[in-house]
Chain A
Amino acid sequence: MNSEKGDLLEKLEQKRKLYFQYFILFSLFITIIAIPIFIEFLKRDSFVLIFLSIVYIVILSTIYIYFQSSWTNKLREEFIRDLIKQNFPEVDYYPKDYISKKIYHESRLFERSPKPDRYEGENLIIGRIGKTKFSLSWINVEYKETDKDSDDRIKNEWHTIFKGILIFADFNKDFSSTTVVFPESFIKISPRKLERVKLEDPLFESIFDVYGDNQIESRYILTPNFMERIIKFRQNKGEKIRLSFINSSIYIAIPTNRKFFKASSFFTSLKDIGERNIVSQYIEDLKFMTSFIEELDLNRRIWTKD
């Protein structure tokens, strides 16, 4: 790794130490206030003492979470952004932003799922790699189920619709139709205004269900070569990937529990983790998110679209 990266890590290490010191200071302050109160209740009321102990732990945890999230953000803003720029000069990174709900709906990938009640995300990456323009981010989409328990109290239960990476990119061929590729399911229900597209590749057919509004354009997109690439892409990214092709764009949803660009605890020194380990972990994350361009060969522009 070059010395520039080393300098940056050195600066970040200084900041980490600062976060650590602030945290210790705050914790000490809280503890100093807490001790006389604890002593006061030690002999009087054990229930209040338990309650106060819980409050004390919650306050300390909140302070920890606050500093950890500030530290994560600092690392992402300063280190990850720089790392991404260095690898892909035409790409921008916004750690707190995420791909819009509009794109999520436009993708038609989750049309059969319930309407989302919670939509959040992070790690938005926007730009161009080679000839392919794209935007992607991690998102977490959930819906709420409201029920009443035996005491007639309203209970909310949250269910995940999708958690993972959603990609929106420019496709290398021009088309004006819609084609969606879902993981194979026993019951084949066509999405709105789409019909089933039966393809000749038996392996592809056994692992995906394809629907489209133009049988020929769906095949123009899903050539034998491209179907093979999608099969390999699925091997690398997981069985539940979904793809859609709408008006010359491609949408890809990769469900994953993986946390991207995760910062280590601000208790741990960056020097102890080692520059090489830090960089390689983030490069792996970046590769996971952007490798679709290479794996699906989207920079191959041999057709009329430039």
Chain B
Amino acid sequence: MDSAILFLLLFILILLVIIVLIYNSLISKKNQVKNAFSTIDVYLKQRYDLIPNIVEAVKEYMKHERHLLEKITQIRTTLTSGQVNEKERFKLEGEITNILGRIFAIAENYPVLKASENFLHLQKTLNDVEEKIAAARRFYNTSVTELNNAIEMFPSNIIAKLMKLKKTEWFEIPEPNRENVYLSELFKK
């Protein structure tokens, strides 16, 4: 009888340890997603700061592409106002990536602009920021996958349900313009 109680206690103890471990792992995964997102946010804000400088540097040359410059300025204003939800934000950020890609592709047609030191510096800084955004986005998506897997897989799904954890969206770049993501590719030409 005594040994039966001992086994039961031991079983409960092991179960408790497992629950605590799963709980902690879910919390750490959730926090990792949060941290990864805040890092993307830092780099995205660095990119917001670059946009006015880029627009200023190219506007004299790109009179026929004024609509692009207006659009990017408008998106930037919307994003910095902070009045968009996560899903919309990801979409708008993707658009910024694409428009910037197009601006730099068009700039290839203006040799004077291309040779300007200010423009070259902006281009390098933007390449750096884009690559950092891409890195942070990849880490964010990895973290989201790990969290979503934990939310769906047994037995962590039971605890996740009790914790009211919900699946998180990936930060994806819109499919049709994916080839423009890496601005650095332009240099290959």
- Interface, chain A (partner B; CB < 8 A): 173, 198-200, 215-220, 223, 225, 300, 302-304
Contacts and interface: CB of A to CB of B under 8 A. Distances in A.
Contact of B182 (A198, A218, A225): A225
Most buried by A among B124, B127, B138: B138
A219 B136 CA distance: 8
Interface of B: 36, 39, 123-125, 127-128, 131-132, 134-136, 138-139, 141-142, 182, 184, 187
Contact of A219 (B125, B138, B187): B138
Most buried by B among A199, A219, A300: A219
A219 B130 CA distance: 12
Contacts of B184: 302-303
Given A216-B39, A220-B135, A300-B187, A200 B142 contact: yes
B138 to A, nearest CB: 5
A84 B132 CA distance: 37
Contact of B138 (A173, A200, A225, A304): A200
Given A216-B39, A223-B134, A225-B182, A303 B139 contact: no
Nearest to B32: A215
26 contacts: A199-B138, A200-B138, A200-B142, A215-B36, A215-B139, A216-B36, A216-B39, A216-B132, A216-B135, A216-B136, A216-B139, A219-B134, A220-B132, A220-B135, A223-B131, A223-B135, A223-B182, A300-B187, A302-B123, A302-B124, A302-B127, A302-B187, A303-B127, A303-B131, A303-B184, A304-B125
Nearest to B40: A216
Nearest to A217: B135
A218 B182 CA distance: 17
Most buried by A among B39, B123, B139, B142: B139
A222 to B, nearest CB: 9
Contacts of B127: 302-303
A198 B131 contact: no
A303 B128 CA distance: 5
Given A199-B138, A218-B135, A219-B138, 16 more contacts: A173-B128, A173-B131, A200-B138, A200-B142, A215-B36, A215-B139, A216-B132, A216-B136, A216-B139, A217-B135, A220-B132, A223-B131, A223-B134, A223-B182, A303-B124, A304-B125
Nearest to A221: B135
B135 A219 contact: yes
Please report whether the interface of chain B is mostly helix, strand, loop or mixed according to DSSP.
Answer: helix
Nearest to A300: B187
Contacts of A173: 128, 131
Contacts of A218: 135
A199 B139 CA distance: 8
Nearest to A219: B135
Contact of B131 (A199, A215, A220): A220
Contacts of B142: 198, 200
B124 A219 contact: no
A219 B128 contact: no
Nearest to B142: A198
A225 B135 CA distance: 12
A219 B39 CA distance: 13
Contacts of B187: 300, 302
A215 B140 CA distance: 10
B128 A304 contact: yes
B78 to A, nearest CB: 26
Most buried by B among A198, A216, A225, A300: A216
Contacts of A300: 187
Contacts of B135: 216-220, 223
